[in-house]
Homo-oligomer: A and B are copies of this chain.
Amino acid sequence: MCRWLAYAGIPIAMDTLLFQPCNSLIRQSLSAQRSVAPTNGDGFGLGWYGDLARPGLYRDTMPAWSDANLRSLAEQIRSPLFFAHVRASTGTATSRLNCHPFRYGDWLFMHNGQIGGWPAVRQDVEGMIRKDLYRHREGSTDSEAFFYLALGNGLMEDAAKAFALTVAQIVGKMRHEGVTEPFRMTAALSDGQRLYAVRWSCDGRSPSLYWTQGHIDGCRDGRVCLEQGGDSVMVLSEPLDEDASHWNEVDEGSFLVAENGRVTVQSFNPFG
């Protein structure tokens, strides 16, 4: 289980969300509150949109809490849309190539969860990835494979449909192999304009996921200054502070889209 955070809105310095809140993502890397695994120290990653269509990517294998580079980048870089992820491995090795987010062209993807029985279904799932996409795969995680399979399923054209089709294909392979461990996921996707998120599991026990919307005016005393307003959206594994009014839970089986500060949540059912 990992922890992640996605932000879309007015440009802000990334450390406003990554370092300053009392339960910041970096704090979660050492001691997550709502996760089976409290320590998310198996690498981290940052993806952000700047002046280019193609997003920047910074990933490393150290725990996020001890990386001076990450602190400096988060302070310096202001971005209108960024993803951050701290990793707790579910079996694959700690390597930059296995750290989220993953990037393809102008797109970013990150994931928390697990494809049950991944060693048993991996080769088949990889074999379904479109050939021209497959050559971009660098690591060995289920998450990266999901992303490339979904890209071939039309992720850039109709994200909800492609997520559903990809989940269905993978669950089909899991059944075929007699896998009994569940498929559980929360995932985020963006092209630099829209932010998409999914929360789904085959057993109704998805990892936690929250969202919020408003105007962010920095962070004070560990608390995010979140005012009413329409310009910013966050989707994240767990709340950044203890002000319950800030954070809405994303229901099981949901697909969320945020654009221009507006959030739409619809039901997500790959087998509907």
Evaluate contact between B93 and A138: CB separation under 8 angstroms: yes
How far apart sit A51 and B50, CA to CA, in the bound complex (Å)?
Answer: 14
Partner pick for A62 among B13, B61, B120, B135, CB 8 A cutoff: B61
Interface string of A53-89 (1 = CB under 8 A from B): 0101111111100101100110111100000000001
Evaluate contact between B58 and A42: CB separation under 8 angstroms: no
How far apart sit A56 and B77, CA to CA, in the bound complex (Å)?
Answer: 9
Evaluate contact between A123 and B119: CB separation under 8 angstroms: no
Evaluate contact between B77 and A77: CB separation under 8 angstroms: yes
- A30-B39, A41-B63, A127-B123 given; A75·B94 CB < 8 A: no
Min Cβ gap A215→B in Å is 20
Please indicate the chain B residues that have their CB under 8 angstroms from the CB of A51 in the complex.
Answer: 13, 76, 78
Please indicate the chain B residues that have their CB under 8 angstroms from the CB of A78 in the complex.
Answer: 51
Stoichiometry, as copies per complex, reads 4
Evaluate contact between B66 and A58: CB separation under 8 angstroms: no
Evaluate contact between A69 and B57: CB separation under 8 angstroms: yes
A139 at the interface (CB under 8 A from B): yes
How far apart sit A57 and B96, CA to CA, in the bound complex (Å)?
Answer: 20
How far apart sit A127 and B122, CA to CA, in the bound complex (Å)?
Answer: 11
How far apart sit A31 and B78, CA to CA, in the bound complex (Å)?
Answer: 35
Min Cβ gap A229→B in Å is 22
How far apart sit A60 and B134, CA to CA, in the bound complex (Å)?
Answer: 26
Supplied contacts A48-B76, A97-B97, A137-B140, 4 more A-B pairs, CB within 8 Å: A39-B39, A54-B75, A62-B62, A122-B135
Binding site for B on A (CB under 8 A): 13, 30-31, 39, 41-42, 48, 50-52, 54, 56-63, 66, 68-69, 72-73, 75-78, 89, 92-97, 119-120, 122-123, 126-127, 129, 131, 134-135, 137-140
Q: What are 20 A-B interface contacts by the 8 Å CB criterion?
A: A13-B51, A39-B41, A42-B66, A52-B75, A56-B73, A56-B77, A57-B68, A58-B72, A58-B73, A61-B62, A62-B62, A76-B77, A77-B77, A92-B138, A93-B138, A97-B97, A120-B135, A126-B127, A127-B127, A138-B140
